[in-house]
C-alpha cells in the first residue's frame, strides 16, 4: 500500500526539529511505486553505476516545501547524488494522480524563476526512462528549517518517477556540470551559507529493516544511535585523483556463523574503494567476495538471471556478514543475515521450501561499473557520518530501534568529527576492470518447482558471535582460499532484482 502524500508529509513533519548549529529530519521508509533502473550521472569520472531500484527497494523520504506560499512535497534522500529535483504538477504522471508525495505548481509561487528552460535532464538505462524539465530556482525549506531563498532545483515536466530526489553529495557530481549552468550551490551548501549548520557535514541513521522511521542530522551526530567506536575514514579519490563521492576503503569481508565460527570471504590484501550510497537498495560486491557469500548462504540464481534466491526462513537465521573498513585501525560493521533477506517472490508451491523463496539484497559490481556500492542493506546496520568540508566519513555499529533517547553533538567549525576516536589510515582504489566472475548455480526445476541451494554456513540458533571494531575480524576457522578458488567461472550479470521480478509483487526491503 502506498502512502498518501498528506500522510507521509505529516509523519515526517512531526519528527523534524531545528536547533542552533544543526537540523534534524525524520526519515520515512516506504517501498516505491514502480521498478526502475538508474544510471547515475557522474562528471567526476569515478563511477558510472547501474543501480537497480524497484518494488523490492525501500526509499527513505524527507519533507520539504517549495515556493511562496510553500507547497509540501516528500523526496528521496540520496547520498549518491547532489541535485534537488521535484515533479511538476503539469507532468502527465501527476495529471494521472500518480504523484502521491506531492507535485509542484510553479504558477502558484511568487518567488519561482526559470534559470534554463529544458536544461534539466536525468537519463536512465532504458530509452524513455528519463526525468526532464527546467532548471529553476525558488524558496525552499527542509524539514521545517528557516527559508532558503533562490535554491536551484530541477522541475521535471516529463517524468519516469513519481516523486523527486534531494541529493546531498559533492557539488562536482551535479547533473548541471555538463550544461552552461555549471556547478551551483547545493542544498547542503545553502544550509551552511544561511547559518542553519556550521559545516557541510551530516549523520545518517536508517534504523533496521523492521523500522519505518530513521533520521538524518545536518550539522550534528546523535551519540545514542551507535555503540562502540565511531571511526573516521578518509574519503578515497576516484581514477581522476579527485574526491567527489563518499568512497571509503573496504579491507575485509567475512561471515560469522551461528556456531561462532568465522569464514574469511575476501582475499588476502583486499583493499577496495566502496561507495556509501543511501539511494541504492543493495550491496554490490566484487565477484570474488560475492560468490563465496552467496554459496555460503545457499543462494541460487533465479531462472530469469535477475535475482539471488534463498528460502524466506533465512530471515530468522543467525549469523552476520562482517565488513571491515580502514585496515587494522579501522572499524568492522556486522550486518545480520535477517537484514539482507528481502520480500517473498515465490510461494512454497513455486519454491521448494515451506517458507517460499525470497531475494537477497546483494549484487555484483558488474552492475555498478566495477565499483563496490554499499546501499541501504548495509547502511541500516551502520551509523554513518559524512563530512564534505574535510573529505572524511565515519562509521559505527548502529543501535537498532533506538528512538526513545537522543544526545546530539554539533559539528564545530574545523576538522574534528565529534566523538570519533580513531582515524583509519588504509587506502583503497576503485577497480579498473571487473574481477573474474563466479559460479553461483541457477535454480533447478523439479515438477515446476524451483529447488533452493544448500548453505555451507551454519545458520541455526546462535551460541555467541563477538562484535569486533578492528580492521580484520578475528576468526576461529578460515576457509578464504578454498572458498575463493572453488568458485571461479561465470556469475550472471543481469541486474539484481530487475524488472522481470517486479510483476511478482516483491515486498520492499
d(CA 20, CA 197): 7
d(CA 44, CA 170): 10
Q: CB of 170 within 8 A of CB of 154? A: no
Give the closest residue to 19 by CA, choosing from 217, 207, 226.
217
Judged on CB neighbours under 10 Å (0-12, 13-18, 19+), 107 is exposed
d(CA 49, CA 58): 18
What lies within 8 Å, CB to CB, of 127 at 6+ separation is none
78 is catalytic: yes
What lies within 8 Å, CB to CB, of 99 at 6+ separation is 5, 87, 89, 91, 93, 159, 162, 163
Q: CB of 466 within 8 A of CB of 251? A: no
Residue 405, number of CB atoms within 10 A of its CB: 10
* CB environment 426-461: b (16+ within 10 A), e (fewer): bebebbeeebebbebeebeeeeebbebbebbbbbee
Dihedral-angle region of residue 214 (phi above 0 means left; psi in -120 to 50 means alpha; beta otherwise): beta
d(CA 28, CA 376): 13
The one catalytic residue in 83, 100, 277, 352 is 277
What's the full length of the chain, in residues? 509
Dihedral-angle region of residue 81 (phi above 0 means left; psi in -120 to 50 means alpha; beta otherwise): beta
d(CA 251, CA 271): 5
Phi, psi of 74 (to 5 degrees): -115, 140
The one catalytic residue in 72, 78, 131, 376 is 78
Q: CA-CA distances (angstroms) from residue 48 to 40, 81, 241, 378, 493?
A: 6, 12, 16, 20, 16
Give the closest residue to 234 by CA, choosing from 328, 326, 327, 372.
326
Note the helical H segments in 448-490. 480-485
277 is catalytic: yes
Give the closest residue to 50 by CA, choosing from 489, 503, 497, 428.
497
Establish how many alpha carbons lie within 13 A of residue 323's alpha carbon, considering only the half-sphere containing its beta carbon.
29
d(CA 403, CA 388): 27
Active site residues: 78, 277
Amino acid at each position: 500500500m502506498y502512502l498518501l502524500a498528506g500522510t507521509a508529509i505529516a509523519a515526517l513533519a512531526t519528527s523534524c526539529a531545528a536547533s542552533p548549529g544543526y537540523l534534524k529530519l525524520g526519515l520515512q521508509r516506504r517501498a516505491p511505486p514502480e521498478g526502475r533502473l538508474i544510471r547515475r550521472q557522474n562528471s567526476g569520472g569515478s563511477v558510472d553505476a547501474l543501480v537497480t531500484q524497484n518494488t523490492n527497494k525501500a526509499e527513505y523520504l524527507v519533507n520539504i516545501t517549495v515556493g511562496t506560499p510553500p507547497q509540501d512535497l516528500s523526496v528521496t534522500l540520496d547520498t549518491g547524488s547532489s541535485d534537488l529535483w521535484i515533479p511538476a504538477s503539469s507532468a502527465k504522471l501527476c495529471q494521472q494522480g500518480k504523484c502521491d508525495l506531492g507535485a509542484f505548481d510553479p504558477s502558484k509561487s511568487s518567488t519561482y524563476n526559470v534559470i534554463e528552460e529544458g536544461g534539466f535532464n536525468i537519463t536512465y538505462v532504458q530509452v524513455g526512462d528519463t526525468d526532464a524539465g527546467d532548471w529553476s530556482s525558488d524558496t525552499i525549506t527542509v524539514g521545517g528549517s528557516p527559508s532558503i531563498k533562490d535554491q536551484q532545483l530541477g522541475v521535471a515536466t516529463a517524468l519516469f518517477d513519481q516523486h523527486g530526489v534531494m541529493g546531498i553529495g559533492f557539488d562536482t557530481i551535479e547533473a548541471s556540470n555538463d550544461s552552461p549552468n555549471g556547478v551551483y550551490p547545493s542544498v547542503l551548501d545553502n544550509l551552511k551559507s544561511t547559518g542553519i549548520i556550521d559545516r557541510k557535514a551530516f549523520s545518517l541513521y536508517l534504523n533496521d529493516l523492521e523500522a519505518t522511521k530513521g533520521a538524518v542530522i545536518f550539522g550534528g551526530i546523535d551519540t545514542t544511535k551507535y555503540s562502540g567506536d565511531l571511526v573516521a575514514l578518509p574519503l578515497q579519490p576516484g581514477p581522476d585523483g579527485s574526491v567527489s563521492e563518499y568512497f571509503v576503503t573496504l579491507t575485509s569481508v567475512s561471515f560469522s556463523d551461528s556456531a561462532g565460527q568465522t569464514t574469511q570471504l575476501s582475499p588476502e590484501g583486499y583493499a577496495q574503494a566502496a561507495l556509501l550510497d543511501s539511494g541504492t537498495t543493495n550491496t554490490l560486491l566484487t565477484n570474488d567476495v560475492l560468490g563465496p557469500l552467496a554459496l555460503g548462504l545457499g543462494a541460487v540464481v533465479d531462472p530469469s538471471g535477475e535475482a539471488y534466491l534463498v528460502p524466506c526462513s533465512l530471515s530468522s537465521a543467525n549469523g552476520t556478514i562482517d565488513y571491515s573498513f580502514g585496515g587494522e585501525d579501522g572499524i568492522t560493521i556486522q550486518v545480520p543475515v535477517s537484514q539482507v533477506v528481502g520480500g517473498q517472490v515465490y510461494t512454497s508451491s513455486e519454491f521448494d521450501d515451506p517458507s517460499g523463496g525470497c531475494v537477497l539484497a546483494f549484487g555484483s559490481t558488474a552492475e555498478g561499473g566495477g565499483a563496490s556500492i554499499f546501499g541501504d542493506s548495509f547502511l541500516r546496520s551502520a551509523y554513518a557520518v559524512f563530512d564534505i568540508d574535510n573529505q572524511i566519513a565515519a562509521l559505527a555499529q548502529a543501535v537498532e530501534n533506538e528512538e526513545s533517547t537522543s544526545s546530539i553533538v554539533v559539528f564545530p567549525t574545523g576538522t574534528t568529527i565529534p566523538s570519533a576516536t580513531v582515524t583509519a589510515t588504509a587506502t583503497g582504489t576503485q577497480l579498473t576492470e571487473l574481477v573474474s566472475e563466479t559460479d553461483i548455480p541457477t535454480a533447478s526445476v523439479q515438477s515446476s518447482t524451483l529447488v533452493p541451494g544448500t548453505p555451507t554456513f551454519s545458520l541455526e540458533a546462535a551460541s555467541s558471535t563477538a562484535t569486533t571494531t578492528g580492521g580484520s575480524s578475528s576468526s576461529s576457522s578460515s576457509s578464504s582460499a578454498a572458498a575463493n578458488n572453488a568458485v571461479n567461472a561465470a556469475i550472471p550479470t543481469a541486474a539484481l532484482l530487475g524488472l522481470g521480478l517486479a510483476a511478482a509483487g516483491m515486498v520492499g526491503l
